Structure 1
Amino acid sequence: MKILLPIDGSELSLVALRHAIHLIQNGLRAELVLANVQPPANLYEWMRAPDPKVLGEIAEAAGQHALQTAEALLREAGIDATEVLVTGDPAHALLDLIESESCDAVVMGSHGGGALRSALQGSVSQALVHNSPVPVTLVKPAGATETTPSSLDAADA
């Protein structure tokens, strides 16, 4: 089994990585693919550094930086992983990586904010849940609870 793990450097993405490490340490035979997606350069960045090579180097450095803690966690656990750095819209890039890396599953962090919050925020995790050709496991941080419409209404009152 090959598992895609989107890593953006946030604690939330590391929670998902720790979950995957735990599964492997408890007997799951899996290969891990760590994926970092850098957004395309914006107009300001193009104005400051119009050379595509320079912009690519900046994006690669940012991606490597985002992966550092994940690499350390994997080293500590004695687990190898493939790393992939790409540029583009995160949801589309991750969907492409599922296919190009022949992944069988995705494990990623989720805020646990509920369907309403995700719809308002345009969540990458929700985009993958709805469009992925493989199973997607969303890992919430400890203590996260699902926000329901009724609890949102109560909070507004």
Structure 2
Amino acid sequence: MDILVPVDGSDCSFRALDFAADMAPRYDADLHVVHFAESETDATDAVRDRARTLLDAQGVDAEPEVTTDADFEFRPGDRVGDDILSLVDERGYDHVVMGHHGAGTIERAILGSAAETVLHAEKVPVTVIP
């Protein structure tokens, strides 16, 4: 089993990573951590380092990945959700574990929600961590 955990640097995304790091060994699963960004920066290094520290503390052998997109400007959550679904299709992940910020109705209408996009696509089982 291959589990994908997208992280965006938020506390809820790292709660999802912590949950997945605990879940993976129970299912003899490989954990794949990805962060979407325009380019590699100090901020992406900080996200990767925080993820690596959490994984090391859990004893999980996984290398956090930063995925860059040259056209990255303003990306509503549903666009990020589509990117996550593309990775699921391309790489054959069996499960997605991701955080959700609990945005309000207006924010979701304007920005979308990556978690909701992935969940409603029904392509793969999804565990959403608040």
TM-score range normalised by the length of the shorter chain: 0.7 to 0.9
Classify the secondary structure of the residue corresponding to 1:35. strand
Q: What does 1:6-155 correspond to in 2, within 5 Å?
A: 6-24=6-24, 27-39=26-38, 59-61=39-41, 62-88=43-69, 89-113=79-103, 118-140=108-130
Relative to structure 1, the CA distance from residue 9 to residue 139 in structure 2 (aligned partners, 3 Å threshold; closer, same or farther) is same
Distance in 2 (alpha carbons) for counterparts of 1:100 and 1:64: 25
1-side partners of 2:105 and 2:58: how far apart? Answer: 34
Partners of 1:83 and 1:71 in 2: how far apart? Answer: 7
TM-score, reference length from structure 2 = 0.78
Partners of 1:92 and 1:84 lie apart in 2 by 18
**Once the 2 structures are TM-superposed, how far is the Cα of residue 14 of structure 1 from its aligned partner?**
0.4
- Specify the structure having the higher radius of gyration (Cα): 1
Cα distance in 2 between the residues matched to 1:90 and 1:121: 10
Identity %: 33
TM-superposed deviation, 1:24: 3.2
The answer for unaligned runs of 5 or more in structure 2 is 70-78
Moved over 4 A (4+): 113-117
**Equivalent position of 1:3 in the other structure:** 3
Secondary structure at 1:8 match in 2: coil
In structure 2, C-alpha distance between the alignment counterparts of 1:122 and 1:116, rounded to whole Å: 9
Is the 2:51–2:64 Cα contact (8 Å) retained in structure 1? no
Query: Which consecutive unaligned segments of at least 5 residues does structure 1 have?
Result: 40-58, 141-157
How many equivalent residue pairs?
Answer: 120
Give TM-score, length-normalised by structure 1: 0.66
The code of the aligned residue for 2:22 comes to H
Q: 1:116 to 1:132 in 2, by over 3 A?
A: farther
Shift of 1:102: 1.5
Tell me, in whole angstroms, the C-alpha distance in 1 between the residues paired with 2:105 and 2:93: 26
Aligned mates of 2:94, 2:116 — CA distance in 1: 18
Once superposed, what is the RMSD of the aligned Cα atoms? 2.1
